[in-house]
Amino acid sequence: MRSSHRIVSASETQSSRFRLTFPLHVVIVDDTESDLQSYAELVRELGGGDAKCFSRTAEALAWVTGHDVDCLIIDYKKPDPDGLKLIELVRGLPDKEHLPILLVTADRAQHVRRAALDLGVNDFLTKPIDFAEFTARLRNMLALRQTQRQLAETASWLAEQVKAATAELVARERETILTLSVAAERADPETPAHVARVARYCESIARTMGLPKAQQELLLATAPLHDIGKIGIPDSILTKTGKLTAEEFAVMKRHTIIGYDILKQGRSATMQMAAQIALNHHERWDGSGYPHGLRGDQIPLVARICAVSDVFDALTSSRSYKDSLPVDAAARTIAAGAGRDFDPAVTDAFSVALTHILTIRERFPEERG
């Protein structure tokens, strides 16, 4: 079919006032070869634009599906399928929901235009085409796309900056936690590797229970602080070789409150979790624990996980006032405490994770001076 349209120059359309700052890709779909060539020439005259022309809708859809596209020009009467159907199919693609679309049509019926707008068309051109108008509208479409891409690049840059700043904050927070955990170790000199093992036991149990990866990582970071409150307990009690008196044990139990008071000042999720573990890791499933006698689900899950990890490590470690239990005996003690001392779901996960927990125990042996 022969086109009757006249190509106007860049000076006539004043397209020289607009220059692309990105190499933009325009897809044109029309069954008239001369119109395709005319549209493509105008795209190139804008400077920096690249036109991809199709006379078959199916071929155009396949190309658009697999490539980056910055503007789509569609002839409404294009068959197999028509322009509206092609727009619907393109808008259904995952990365084309904001793609600027210009519909060319000789149909002035309002229902056609409403249908096109409902499908997400950005602008219209009515045949016969005035190429000055075509250039102006295409310039607007490409300017829109440039803005979209600039905003996307800015958003991506900002996201990277936030990510880097967040990573730095997390690193500083983890450094603080490490420093505090070292202080906790020195407060109780007979357990130098205890906090490292307990943290990794907690992570292993959490993973076995299917907790989110972020929760597992938080447990690994915060569990070392479960006994941080011992820095507020007198050395005469911490280092006593014999059994504590009732009065001394009452003082010892205060390490949960002291730890919580230290950590609750932090506003981050990490410090808040650490505070809850410090406060509640001696609570018991049946309500017989301390400091508040919480029972069951009243005890935060992370503290219930830490309770099992802490007791298992204490049972399998020798102290000046006791010998260590064999691993099998300690595991049976944990299992026997299900429903009384410990959350049954946590003890089940502990049993499943026991093989991995034992490898952790071997990696972090006691080192006594």
Integer Cα distance of 140 and 123 in angstroms: 9
pLDDT of residue 351: 97
Q: 218, 222, 239: which is closest to 230 by C-alpha?
A: 239
Question: What pLDDT, on the 0 to 100 scale, is given for residue 178?
Answer: 67
* pLDDT at position 211: 96
Poorest-confidence range of 45-59, 311-325, 336-350? 45-59
pTM recorded for the entire structure: 0.57
Q: For residue 213, what are its two tokens?
A: 């990866």
C-alpha angle 270-274-280 in degrees, rounded to nearest 5? 145
pLDDT in tens, 18-38: 555 566 788 999 888 888 888
Higher pLDDT, residue 283 or 317: 283
Confidence (pLDDT) at 10 = 40
Taking 70 as the threshold, does the pLDDT of residue 7 lie above it?
no
pLDDT (average), residues 104-109 = 77
Per-domain boundaries in the chain: 10-156, 188-363
At residue 302, the pLDDT reads 97
Do 299 and 169 contact (CB within 8 A), yes or no?
Answer: no
Pairing of strands 71-75, 24-29: parallel
pLDDT classification of 367: cutoffs 50, 70, 90 = low
Q: Maximum CA pair distance of the chain?
A: 105
Q: What is the DSSP string of 291-332?
A: SS---GGGS-HHHHHHHHHHHHHHHTS-BTTBPPPPHHHHHH
Residues 344, 296: Cα–Cα separation, whole Å = 10
Distance CA 296, CA 285 (A): 5
Both tokens of 96, joined, read 């084309």
Condensed to tens digits (0 to 9), the pLDDT of residues 129-181 reads 787 888 888 888 878 887 887 887 888 888 888 777 767 776 777 667 766 76
On average, the pLDDT of the chain sits at 84
Report how far apart, in Å, the C-alpha atoms of 322 and of each of 192, 276, 325, 328, 364 are: 17, 29, 9, 17, 20
User: Across residues 174-203, what is the average pLDDT?
Assistant: 74
Q: Which CATH class is domain 188-363?
A: mainly alpha
Is residue 342 within 8 A of residue 205, CB to CB? The reply is no
According to CATH, what is the number of the domain 10-156? 3.40.50.2300
Q: Looking at residue 6, what is its pLDDT?
A: 41
Q: Which pLDDT score is estimated for 8?
A: 40
Instruction: Provide the β-strand partners of residue 322.
Output: 319
The HSE-up count of residue 174 (CA atoms within 13 Å, CB side) is: 11
Q: Are 124 and 83 in contact (CB under 8 A)?
A: no
